Structure 1
């Protein structure tokens, strides 16, 4: 029997004051699905932010807004490192072109952490040239993509010194390169970004932090060159490179003229279409609280104002063009407040996502006007360019910085840097799990009714990475035969409450491009996590509906496996009415995520800030003491003996006696 939770049910249980309003309407009207819940939350956050921006009417108010946004953004990504002087750099080779030259450059953004780059220079000498930094978008060959080569050749032939480089996880900077197969173990477009970026949420950081730092150190190198005028520096990027251009210009005023390609929109609109149209994982574009803390893309442009900024967009982009237009109007208002409305521009090309020729030509004209003083409407057609084969542009002898060059692998470096940071005061799990999403949305199902008096209720928490518990009939029948009442729960977005959308991921829970992964990123943007929301659902069930019909109220044993195991552990850690917890097939530590080999984890199983502000899974289990915990067929090691925790090698799903014997022994 299913027991849907509606507004009326929650109010009847007296839970509304503690848990906030429930989703749903009168009676048992169905609640909006998780996707729509998150969109509603983001749209409300956007409305508050827009009102704040619209209220800015003086230059001093704009300055206050910019300072506030920059502080929030830097805090949100985990701050930035510091360094003195330009980075260690060397030239690894040169190529002569027609009217330009290319230098192959290696520089270190952290000591021993190498960045492969190309410097495009004009063939003619003369006074110092304006400089252009050009971070790349999502291309498997990184800086060697043909479109980027065309852009950079044209800029060099127009008199600019251009520095472009491979983003980490792309081109020559694969972190998971399989030399025997000549390819990444994931992919060099978005897959590596997911594996590199997701663990950083646990540290209270964003992958954006390290990408921005690479760009800052690239800018340090470019500005240090004797033939570059450091007062005339622009930045241009497309897609992921547009994202990084906007980030860099927002935090580094040395970027005098940014051109942002195929990125700017409004995030609630992007949240609405990402699963269907572009479900690849980009944790660098989804910092925790980006929408919830009132920043969004309009906030990035506010931080840049009043520097001359051009938005290059595509009519049929998966970054919704309606959001681009709305954000442009917000930016134009703020630039107008600064008396600089002519310094914000937008070019929209027909066609899909991509730095097409019309957008490139608009970029050339924008740079020529603002960095070289040429008339604003003067446009020179693009020169024909013949892109080289990617291998010809390799900076490293074997085409990978982590190969013969021996660059430091990213994940261990990020962990080591985190370990050196000053420790923050620890906070309680209740604080980390606090959710402002509002509402409770879950479904209960009787799997085995009745049960003998004095026996606890077994509550099985469903997840998306394992079959629903109701399919494990042999397991449930064994519990029922032993005299236990059994119920299962679908927290929001799980089982009967799955969002009815499809992505190109092979599975709903695909950690690289599945529906679940993208829902988790949407939650992060709003300052929420699916983990916390699902814990809230389980706690609401334990508070009343799950034990309804059992008088006196029975103790509850929570069971979870794979992704639902973490939900079960966290719920029990903050709710003493949960008598015991049994988990199966779950990692016993998050620390292996920071090993060089890399492990894919679904963002839906991440609680941002957990390792920074509380601790690892052993600390969660320690918070359950003295209540008993069964860890069955789990991965890794706890590293120490914990009171009340029994680890066994057999899975209780396939060997119910493991669970039954433990429950009896636990009393």
Structure 2
């Protein structure tokens, strides 16, 4: 029998996030006056904007092109292409009223996670509801949705082309290596969409709305907090605290987890609080997987600020009786609110909805921006990587260690950790000794050893020379394997946090790009910490324990993900004699610019390529010890 550590990482972050939320609630409870509210708003706005745009990108020419027009009863649709970045085409539809006098109150509509993007029936429906009420609506495709599939070089049935969220997570982890956030790229598309709307003479510059559902609700939330030109917002089916998603074991898309946001005690409600008393309606559904309890909590928090500003009329919320989705009831609530804020005397709800086929709405000739000449995102990332590498400082081994330790959060002094003697177990008739090592409060990594004499396992005795092995995902899969290239001595295996016995899901699901390893990695990201750095620390801490037990020589072995961890352990530790790295990636720069890699996001250290890369690290550790690379 073995204790179950599989919930360890989830519970660890639940404790941390609950404590953070309680601190935040205490602060909110003490806000009573307008001056206190404005001071709080100023602080959270500054933090949110820094999270998304430490440096604002340059606004480059939009180069808009109208590629066609559809004339419909009461409105027309212009098929539009514009460049949010140089050679980065965004496909969009512009709905323009025919039976109203301009200027028209204007709405930017980011899409949720639908394969059809702007052509998804519910998104066509809310666009038509708005245009029939006299609103100009620009709805645009996100990356890898609608006409913006970035992976035309891959087979049509490939995972990245079948699932936009998988594609987003791929883009996001690659951008992470150059210290960029995919959510910022998504927000930038929305900002440039607004820039285009403001070039249109028909647009009323005094009413600039934003609305979207699910992933579009995410973008509505982010845009609302980051872009002050928007005057009214209606996010749908996204609104619940980060804590609820964590407790409900709900991984989110990579753009839904902003960097450092929890480290600065910012919760989702702050994105709305930051804009009070500007006009806002929050839209939820009773049976949404974004927890409705959290929706209600956020509504109460936000409502308090509108009360303080004496602007109750500017805030509303709506809860429908449906599951996740932008259903007609929420659309009608949004349209009614927008009409009220725009000063319209009547709202028209009984309209004929005409759902177009996706190809009818295409702005490109062949239904794809890449085939129209747009650069794939991995090419754009690759160009950034090349520029970074060309200008990157060549570091001495000492300076490299100092900078990387700071990046990974590795302390200068590592204490000898406490350990438990756990129950052994039998694996294919071999006795496996187990030791739980507490490298951080309530974080237990598992040290294992195959033993011949089971009578001695209840006292952790370490031999003079050992092989310390870091598996790919689980020591149990590798502990009985023979590695002929290693020295013949005692072998110990480490299951670092989130791997092996503390893996929060079945092994077969570990590499899912939308699984629990990904979710835990995202919470480290939001807390401004490094999952990879914590795993490196687990090994360094274990080495301190091993040395305290009299071990003189440590030969380090790492396989795949274990090889990445082992690479940095070898750089940081002075206790390693030989290092063997099997299936180590050739470089992170290559991983950053290939169309696809299965390596989990927890290995993609934020900003690493601005400092160094694998070949440079290998070169430095070769000057310190014997290094063996096994491909």
| TM-score normalised according to structure 1 size | 0.82
**Is 2:483 the partner of 1:475?**
yes
Structure 1: where are the runs of 5+ without partners?
5-28, 635-667
Task: Choose from 623, 628, 631 the match for 2:625.
Answer: 628
> Are the aligned partners of 1:538 and 1:571 in contact in 2 as well (CA < 8 Å)?
yes
* Alpha-carbon separation, structure 2, partners of 1:62 and 1:420: 43
> Are the aligned partners of 1:175 and 1:402 in contact in 2 as well (CA < 8 Å)?
yes
| Cα distance change of structure 1 residues 454 and 543 upon mapping to structure 2, 3 Å threshold | closer
**Is 2:246 the partner of 1:240?**
no
> Alignment length, in residue pairs?
588
> Are the aligned partners of 2:67 and 2:80 in contact in 1 as well (CA < 8 Å)?
yes
> Are the aligned partners of 2:133 and 2:348 in contact in 1 as well (CA < 8 Å)?
no
Encode CA deviations 1:335-363: one digit per residue, 9 max, x unaligned. 22222233222111112110111101100
* Alpha-carbon separation, structure 1, partners of 2:229 and 2:270: 18
Task: Choose from 445, 449, 452 the match for 1:446.
Answer: 449
- Secondary structure (helix, strand or coil) at the match of 1:271 reads helix
1:394 aligns to what? 362
* Alpha-carbon separation, structure 2, partners of 1:460 and 1:595: 30
Shift of 1:52: 2.8
2:93 aligns to what? 118
1:459 aligns to what? 468
Task: Choose from 483, 490, 494 the match for 1:489.
Answer: 494
| Cα distance change of structure 1 residues 216 and 591 upon mapping to structure 2, 3 Å threshold | same
**Is 2:104 the partner of 1:137?**
no
- Secondary structure (helix, strand or coil) at the match of 2:164 reads coil
| Cα distance change of structure 1 residues 32 and 176 upon mapping to structure 2, 3 Å threshold | closer
| Cα distance change of structure 1 residues 468 and 628 upon mapping to structure 2, 3 Å threshold | farther
Map 1:246-395 to 2 at 5 A. Answer: 246-275=221-250, 279=251, 282-374=253-345, 380-395=348-363
* Alpha-carbon separation, structure 1, partners of 2:22 and 2:626: 45
Encode CA deviations 1:58-114: one digit per residue, 9 max, x unaligned. 333333333322322233234354445872201000111121111000011112211
* Alpha-carbon separation, structure 1, partners of 2:145 and 2:469: 41
- Secondary structure (helix, strand or coil) at the match of 1:224 reads coil
1:563 aligns to what? 561
> Are the aligned partners of 1:547 and 1:554 in contact in 2 as well (CA < 8 Å)?
yes
Task: Choose from 28, 32, 37 the match for 1:57.
Answer: 32
* Alpha-carbon separation, structure 2, partners of 1:313 and 1:248: 18
- Secondary structure (helix, strand or coil) at the match of 1:507 reads helix
Shift of 1:248: 0.7
1:194 aligns to what? 169
1:658 aligns to what? none
| Cα distance change of structure 1 residues 493 and 182 upon mapping to structure 2, 3 Å threshold | closer
Encode CA deviations 1:508-549: one digit per residue, 9 max, x unaligned. 2224223322222233223333212212211121111x3565
> Are the aligned partners of 1:429 and 1:574 in contact in 2 as well (CA < 8 Å)?
no
Q: Which stretch of the first structure deviates more once superposed, 393-402 or 599-608? A: 599-608
2:577 aligns to what? 579
* Alpha-carbon separation, structure 1, partners of 2:307 and 2:626: 61
Shift of 1:292: 2.2
Shift of 1:213: 0.7
Shift of 1:582: 1.4
Q: Which stretch of the first structure deviates more once superposed, 576-585 or 29-38? A: 29-38
> Are the aligned partners of 1:87 and 1:107 in contact in 2 as well (CA < 8 Å)?
yes
